[in-house]
Amino acid sequence: MNEPVVTGCVIESYGRRVVVSPAGGGEPRLCKLRGRKLDVVAGDQVRIEQHEGADDWTVVERLPRRNVLSRSDSRGMVESIAANLDQLGVVVAPLPACDPFIVDRYVAGACYAEVAPLIIVNKGDLPAGAGDLSFMAPFEALGLPVCFVSARAGTGLPDLVALLSGKRTLLAGQSGVGKSSLLNALAGDALRTTGRLSEKSGEGRHTTTSSAIFRLPWGELADSPGVRDYAPPVVAPADVQRGFPEVLARAQGCRFQDCQHVREPQCAVQAAVAAGDIDGRRYESYRRLLNLNRQLVEKRGWRA
């Protein structure tokens, strides 16, 4: 006789192996995925089954997702990173020098997934003028929450916890911004208890397809190496503008319904850039993402 089917949340994912925390409580279980097609990442709700005589568990079904944050690899193939998120916390720092285009790409990926972006400026203990963060102004103008912290000095952390409370937030950021330090400062104890089951499975957490969720008394933090060098998933060319709220907001004013806001006449977006109502750097970034998306579409073709 099969054990009754159990549902639960994936709290660690290592490709074809996942750790599931049962909905009714109890010890997390290491599970295999049934079949090749099941796409399961941290944050997914799944059904798991244990078969008679065997002590291993199998994920047999993924329950419907509220959303999934995904990425494009260099060949344009889409990979899921984490599911059922409330927020994407983009970590930036004055040093090492931040590439604003990467921040725009994280924000675009969050917009595509309909996950709310939040910007966390770390290393506030560095002297003023340590790096150029002037690219942040358009994000504040867009109304994105921006929180200033120092993982090292511990400043700003209560304000950050307030923004993360009651939510599941994936932390993203370029290597060196202090993402691990921040995770440690916020979730130190929870970090030390994860990874135990992965040792059994023999798969580490370093691959881009791995992801984990840390459940804290005030909320949940998700982490994945897949967000270090991030390109948003390939989308239909007309959808690239959805990654730039200030572009999307003006697109209705364009003469052509399928305007890509590059060279078309009577384009409300280009007019807003010329008038200084859309930040020039953000607009350039929109064009770069449009080009990157086009190159990836050409490489692999557009599929929904």
Between CA 16 and CA 8 the distance in angstroms is 17
Least gap, CB of 189 to ligand GDP (angstroms): 17
Q: Is 29 in the site for ligand GDP (CB under 6 A)?
A: no
Q: In the complex with ligand GDP, which residue's Cβ is closer, 123 or 250?
A: 123
**Encoded tokens for 251:** 């697109």
Q: In the complex with ligand GDP, which residue's Cβ is closer, 76 or 173?
A: 173
Q: Is 233 in the site for ligand GDP (CB under 6 A)?
A: no
Q: Where are the beta strands (DSSP E) in the chain?
A: 6-14, 17-22, 29-33, 45-50, 57-62, 68-72, 78-83, 87-92, 116-121, 146-148, 168-173, 210-216, 219-223
Q: Pick one of 3, 56, 114, 125: the residue that binds ligand GDP (CB under 6 A).
A: 125
Between CA 141 and CA 203 the distance in angstroms is 43
What does the angle CA 203 – CA 209 – CA 215 come to, to the nearest 5 degrees?
A: 80
Q: Is 177 in the site for ligand GDP (CB under 6 A)?
A: yes
Q: Pick one of 83, 160, 213, 254: the residue that binds Zn ion (CB under 5 A).
A: 254
Q: In the complex with Zn ion, which residue's Cβ is closer, 118 or 273?
A: 273
Between CA 208 and CA 114 the distance in angstroms is 22
Q: Is 175 in the site for ligand GDP (CB under 6 A)?
A: yes
Contacts with Zn ion by CB under 5 A lie at 254, 259, 261, 267, 269
Residues that bind ligand GDP (CB under 6 A): 122-123, 125-126, 150-152, 173, 175-181
